[in-house]
Amino acid sequence: MKRIQSLDILRGASVALMILVNNPGSWAAVWEPLRHASWNGLLFADLVFPLFLFVMGVSMYFSLHKGGFKLSWKILKRVLLLIGIGLILNWISGIVWANDWSLTHLRYTGVLQRFGLCFGLSAVLVCTLPHKSLPWISAGILALYAAVLLLGNGYAYGPENGLARADRLMIPEAHLYNDKGIDPEGLVSTLPCLAHTLVGFLVGKLLYEKRNKGALLCGIILLVAGLLATPWLPLNKKIWSPSFVLVLCGIGTLVLCLLYYLVDERGLWKHYGFFKAFGTNAIFCYVMGSVVAWVLDGTGLHGWFARQVVKDDPLLSAAYALACVLLVWLSVLPLYKRKIFLKL
């Protein structure tokens, strides 16, 4: 099967938006569409990370299918590299932002670490179990997690949250992100992310088998089910609530189906190179987003821009973030033009 262009585009758009959201000109003047929900709720910025995780799940079907769904050193290497790169980024960030060269406060969790764990755990399941059991496993994980949230004070925004307490039992508090005692990429909340990745894998299976209408129906069912669950399980990205999984996987499926129809089936959208440059070297671009932020802060340009230019103007803050995205695009463009795709 030829490469699915829409998958690269959605992956690339997710990475580009992630860089955009993570690099405002001033954190005191963030443009409203680039803000995350403070707790319960769903804003545009909350779509970015989950869409990337969903795309990773979809891509897993195509990448693992070539090897006959067998566990291999290649899978373990990818897991170790994702976690390792994430830890290195956290360590360098501690040096840049806090001038802390020690490992005393190194954050063990993070975005890439979550990707690595979800990829590894999903790979074990899809390579050892019948694929027809995966929907039931995903549903079981979400049902179990819903019970954990409801019985463990999981919607409390503070250190009394049961998820936060469990994370602190497994990882010393000094090595966790502290958002009122909660780590948004903590270990316990990685459980629903596993279901999130498995749903993406199953959508990938539908697309691979050319069951596009089935994928579309799946997206609608997921979205509606998630919205119906919100009165009891509100949408919440920081704890990755079950309704959040269903809604975001539904949105991801519908967007991917639309792109697949426009790009891969009809060939109607020809000018997708900008996003595809990000999508074909996604991890490189994610790392470069951090490098750009470190350089601009280390040279004092970010601070000067925040004080002298942005001040309290959210649009200028967004313009700075867009400039960061363009800098990353310029760094990956030579690779894209030479068809060099860096893979873990």
pLDDT digit string, tens, across residues 97-130: 888 888 898 999 999 999 999 999 999 999 999 9
What Å distances lie between residue 31 and 59, 103, 206, CA to CA?
32, 34, 37
Mapping DSSP onto H, E and C, the string for 100-146 reads CCCCCCCCCCCHHHHHHHHHHHHHHHHHHCCHHHHHHHHHHHHHHHH
pTM of the entire predicted model: 0.94
Residue 85 clears pLDDT 90, i.e. is over it: yes
Give the model confidence (pLDDT) of 231-248 as tens digits: 999 999 999 999 999 999
Tell me the C-alpha distance between 153 and 130, whole Å: 35
Tell me the C-alpha distance between 284 and 56, whole Å: 15
Q: How many residues does the chain have?
A: 344
Give the model confidence (pLDDT) of 143-188 as tens digits: 999 999 999 999 999 999 999 999 999 999 999 999 999 999 999 9
Tell me the C-alpha distance between 218 and 206, whole Å: 10
Measured in degrees and rounded to the nearest 5, phi and psi for residue 153 equal 55, 40
Domain boundaries along the sequence of the chain:
5-23+36-286
Sign of CA dihedral 257, 258, 264, 266: positive
The overall average pLDDT reported for the chain is: 93
Tell me the C-alpha distance between 15 and 10, whole Å: 9
Within its chain, how far is the Cα of 244 from the centroid? Answer: 13
pLDDT the model gives residue 2: 67
